[in-house]
Chain A
Amino acid sequence: MLKQLEGSVAIAETVAYCRPEVVCAYPITPQTHIVEGVGALVKSGVLSNCEFINVESEFAALSVAIGASAAGARAYTATASQGLLFMAEAVYNAAGLGLPIVMTIGNRAIGAPINIWNDHSDSMALKDAGWIQLFAESNQEAVDLHIQAFRLAEELSCPVMVCVDGFILTHAYERIDVPTQEEVDAFLPPFEPVQVLDPTEPYSIGAMVGPEAFTEVRYLGHQKQLQALHLIPEIAKVFQDVFGRETGGLVHPYRTENAETMIVALGSINGTIKDVVDAMRESGTAIGSIGVCSFRPFPLEALAKALDGAKRVIVVEKSLAPGLGGMLTSDVRMSLLRQAIPVHTVIAGLGGRPVTGVSLTAAFELAVNDQLEDVHFLDLDHAAIEHEVERSRLTRKSGPTAENILRRLGSGV
């Protein structure tokens, strides 16, 4: 049913229709509205047969979800930023134990300096913990991915993060087709766990594994992810049959026909990129874009195929690997092992800096003219950088960088 809703509220409603049996909640901006919304639906009885557990930390939130999932319950939680880092040990455990927990990440930067705004540093920090990571381009896709995520997680026995851009999606009101309980029930069968902790039939989960078998356990975890490469598009297809919408899948190619310049990105920035692609196509530039929906597993083949024939690739990244450049870029290069195509990185939107169509267009035009550097920082304030470098060069006791830059910006120099 079409509704005009805040992204978080639509996600909460949809998660409730997925009938989780245990929801663990610890608030952190910008994810808070989601678990608050699920909590309200448990209280009002819309979501019955569900234990809503307020815990004392993110570490507890995921630990409780792990316990619940191991006992055979469909378990859900959500977090962001520092919260995801605080539960990092449990994140690895959930994947290593093969527990199909679904967790929403309201993507947010990581401190220091403290910053509550959107970028992808949080989920990137845990990208190789063994979870599947799906990135939503819009609130419609965020809603749809949650339904697909439970099915995917439970078919594979592998946890899934649904990554939703904090504020930009979580706090935006837009037209969203929110599914009905009947539709979700028709798509998502009841959870049938492959392992259950049951006192009447006791066994242990999480034993110590030494060098004799650890590699094999890890190898099977890798195989599971490779299996997901087939399952994700299959589930998206079934979803389309039931709901009539094409969302999810591995990659979203847009106007890639005969494109010489190809843009690759994760999440909501793909919307702005599509508008830029339209405008540049209008003025005669052969440009297209590919939104990567499944970041883990990484769709090497699908991407290589979609990028085939391009003269250059520009990866727009909302995170930074200091000392390297872009993390998504590294993976994109891996997909191009057999194709000699230059890949540029545009670091954009860190800590919530708006990524504007004007700035993206300028960067893409530089690339078209072969003038874009390998790693480009969009809208970087060069004067502020130079001033700070010079200031700290002149004195050993130069003090904290962040505070000094802020003081200078505040004084309007």
Chain B
Amino acid sequence: MFQTRIHGRGGQGVVTAAELLSVAAFLEGRHAQAFPSFGSERMGAPVMSFCRIDDKEIRLREPVQKPDALIIQDPTLLHSVDVFGGLNPNGYILINSRRRFDELGIAEFVAGFPAHHVCDLGATELAMKHVGRPLPNAALLGGFAAISGQLHMDSVAQAIMQKFPGPVGEANVAAAREAYDIAANS
């Protein structure tokens, strides 16, 4: 079982990100379970969502406490929430930021992970370029597919198009594909 935890702020699409991951995995014939950190969250408040992927039925219903991968939509959470709690020491970290790990103050922590497992990605900038709005979700999912190897980029694209048919989906897929290429080559 591969477990992902997504950290963001209310309104950034944290729940949608987990949903899209689960749909992409489903499209590859796998079992997937996505759910939010339940609550009456407000815009801007720290929120989490979770996605489990497995080759058999997923029965476990507890929140993901020992993630294999983290997607951090908002780097301002790094020092206010225990985003790295329980992370698999051989796990994956994807952060939406154009700043380097040392600028984010986590270089030492990140150095403990295999180099190709960690990635900072200007997902918001990619979203502005392709979609015209600061919604980093699609780009982060592309980046996740590249570093984790859990999903094919085409499945991510298909999941995005199912959720957002037409030009909005296409713009998001373009952002995801560019992010995929950046992350794969970083």
User: Which residues of A approach B to under 8 Å, CB–CB?
Assistant: 2, 4, 6, 29-30, 116-118, 138, 167-168, 171-175, 268-272, 274-275, 352, 354-357
Judge whether A271 and B59 touch: CB under 8 Å.
yes
Judge whether A268 and B61 touch: CB under 8 Å.
yes
Q: Does residue B33 face the partner (Cβ distance < 8 Å to A)?
A: yes
Complex Cα spacing A50 to B57, Å: 35
Minimum CB–CB distance from B25 to chain A (whole Å) comes to 8
Closest chain A residue to B35 by CB distance? A172
Complex Cα spacing A6 to B60, Å: 16
Judge whether A173 and B35 touch: CB under 8 Å.
yes
Judge whether A173 and B32 touch: CB under 8 Å.
yes
Complex Cα spacing A171 to B36, Å: 7
Complex Cα spacing A30 to B36, Å: 13
State the majority secondary structure of interface residues on B: mixed
Closest chain A residue to B59 by CB distance? A271
Q: Name the contact of A357 in the complex, choosing from B19, B33, B38, B62 (C-beta under 8 A).
A: B62
User: Which residues of B approach A to under 8 Å, CB–CB?
Assistant: 18-19, 22-23, 26-27, 31-36, 38-40, 58-63, 65
> CB-CB < 8 A to B38: which residues of A?
30, 117-118, 167-168, 171, 352
Minimum CB–CB distance from A45 to chain B (whole Å) comes to 20
Judge whether A271 and B22 touch: CB under 8 Å.
no
Between A and B, 22 residue pairs with Cβ closer than 8 Å are A4-B22, A4-B23, A29-B40, A116-B40, A167-B36, A168-B35, A168-B61, A171-B35, A172-B33, A173-B22, A173-B35, A174-B31, A174-B34, A268-B61, A270-B59, A271-B61, A272-B59, A272-B60, A275-B59, A354-B62, A356-B62, A357-B60
> CB-CB < 8 A to B59: which residues of A?
138, 270-272, 274-275
Q: Name the contact of A172 in the complex, choosing from B27, B34, B62, B65 (C-beta under 8 A).
A: B34
Closest chain B residue to A2 by CB distance? B26
Complex Cα spacing A383 to B34, Å: 34
Most buried by A among B27, B34, B38: B38
> CB-CB < 8 A to A167: which residues of B?
35-36, 38
Complex Cα spacing A282 to B82, Å: 33
Complex Cα spacing A356 to B61, Å: 8
Complex Cα spacing A279 to B61, Å: 16
Complex Cα spacing A117 to B40, Å: 9
Closest chain B residue to A114 by CB distance? B40
> CB-CB < 8 A to A274: which residues of B?
59
Minimum CB–CB distance from B41 to chain A (whole Å) comes to 11
> CB-CB < 8 A to B63: which residues of A?
354
Judge whether A4 and B60 touch: CB under 8 Å.
no
Once A4-B23, A4-B26 are accepted as A-B contacts, the answer to whether A173 and B33 lie under 8 Å apart by CB is yes
Minimum CB–CB distance from A117 to chain B (whole Å) comes to 6
> CB-CB < 8 A to A272: which residues of B?
59-62
Once A4-B32, A167-B35, A272-B59 are accepted as A-B contacts, the answer to whether A173 and B65 lie under 8 Å apart by CB is no
* Contacts A172-B33, A175-B26 known; 12 new A-B pairs at CB < 8 A: A168-B61, A171-B36, A173-B32, A268-B61, A270-B59, A271-B60, A272-B59, A272-B61, A274-B59, A354-B62, A354-B63, A356-B62
Judge whether B19 and A173 touch: CB under 8 Å.
yes
Closest chain B residue to A269 by CB distance? B61
Complex Cα spacing A168 to B61, Å: 7
Closest chain B residue to A7 by CB distance? B35
Complex Cα spacing A357 to B64, Å: 11
> CB-CB < 8 A to A2: which residues of B?
26
> CB-CB < 8 A to A275: which residues of B?
59-60
Minimum CB–CB distance from A24 to chain B (whole Å) comes to 25
Minimum CB–CB distance from A84 to chain B (whole Å) comes to 19
Closest chain B residue to A30 by CB distance? B38
Complex Cα spacing A29 to B39, Å: 10
Most buried by A among B18, B31, B35, B63: B35
Judge whether A356 and B65 touch: CB under 8 Å.
yes
Complex Cα spacing A355 to B62, Å: 6
> CB-CB < 8 A to A29: which residues of B?
40
Complex Cα spacing A174 to B65, Å: 19
Minimum CB–CB distance from B16 to chain A (whole Å) comes to 10
> CB-CB < 8 A to B36: which residues of A?
167, 171
Most buried by A among B27, B60, B61, B65: B61
Complex Cα spacing A172 to B62, Å: 12
Closest chain B residue to A165 by CB distance? B61
> CB-CB < 8 A to B34: which residues of A?
172-174
> CB-CB < 8 A to A268: which residues of B?
61
Minimum CB–CB distance from B45 to chain A (whole Å) comes to 15
Complex Cα spacing A173 to B31, Å: 11
Complex Cα spacing A174 to B33, Å: 5
Most buried by A among B22, B39, B40: B22
Judge whether A174 and B58 touch: CB under 8 Å.
yes
Complex Cα spacing A118 to B63, Å: 14
Minimum CB–CB distance from A69 to chain B (whole Å) comes to 33
> CB-CB < 8 A to A175: which residues of B?
26, 31-32
Complex Cα spacing A2 to B31, Å: 11
Complex Cα spacing A354 to B86, Å: 16
Complex Cα spacing A171 to B38, Å: 8
Complex Cα spacing A357 to B3, Å: 15
Complex Cα spacing A360 to B35, Å: 21
> CB-CB < 8 A to A352: which residues of B?
38
Closest chain A residue to B162 by CB distance? A4
Complex Cα spacing A4 to B35, Å: 12
